[in-house]
Amino acid sequence: MLRCREISEQASDHIDGRLSAGARMQMAMHLLMCGRCRSFMRQMRLTVAALRARDEESLSAGRAAELASAAMVASRISDEKED
């Protein structure tokens, strides 16, 4: 099972469609069980879409997702309790 931190690390690759089938499956399973990561992914997609719309030429989805992830990881996932 992936940890929330791994979800956040793979989010940009997921949005860009760069994850392997196995990685997508693992992420999907985690998202089924973890509401926090579901909302994280939703916000990530919205943020990427907004950044892309604003700065379409110069900002890849991956870069936008990294920016969004850095901000959200710091505020949302830093206090996770796992293991």
Q: Cα separation of 31 and 65, whole Å?
A: 17
Closer residue to Zn ion in complex, CB, 30/64: 30
73 binds Zn ion (CB under 5 A): no
Residues 6+ apart with CB under 8 A from 2: 10, 26, 27, 29, 30
Count of residues making up the chain? 83
Q: Cα separation of 17 and 12, whole Å?
A: 8
Using the rule CB under 5 A, which residue among 11, 15, 37, 61 binds Zn ion? 37
34 binds Zn ion (CB under 5 A): yes
4 binds Zn ion (CB under 5 A): yes
**Nearest-approach distance from CB 51 to Zn ion, in angstroms:** 23
Q: Which residues bind Zn ion (CB under 5 A)?
A: 4, 34, 37
